[in-house]
Amino acid sequence: MTNTSFPYVEIDVNTFFDLIGESPPRVYVLNDGAVDAIIDEDIANTLDKRYP
């Protein structure tokens, strides 16, 4: 462990894809701890437009 506040465990790639199934990765944009936006598609382009 790296002395983080919360314990974590790395999982292998196969386990990751078993867990997400057919769902793509999702990006949550937080603002003061609240969800400001959820980005499901074209993540890189959307973030580039949001944060030029």
Q: Residue 5 corresponds to which amino acid?
A: S
Query: What value does the mean pLDDT take over residues 20-44?
Result: 89
Cβ atoms of residues 46 and 39 within 8 Å: yes
Give the C-alpha distances (Å, rounded to integers) separating 5 from 10, 16, 33: 16, 23, 17
Could you give the CA distance from residue 43 to residue 38 in angstroms, rounded to a whole number? Answer: 10
Alpha helices in the chain (DSSP H): 13-20, 43-50
The residue ranking higher by pLDDT, 35 or 7, is 35
| More confident of the two residues 18 and 25 | 18
Judge whether 39 and 26 are in contact, CB under 8 Å: yes
Report the percent of the chain where pLDDT is more than 70. Answer: 96
pTM, full prediction: 0.51
Residue range 20-30: mean pLDDT, rounded: 85
Tell me what the pLDDT averaged over the chain comes to.
87
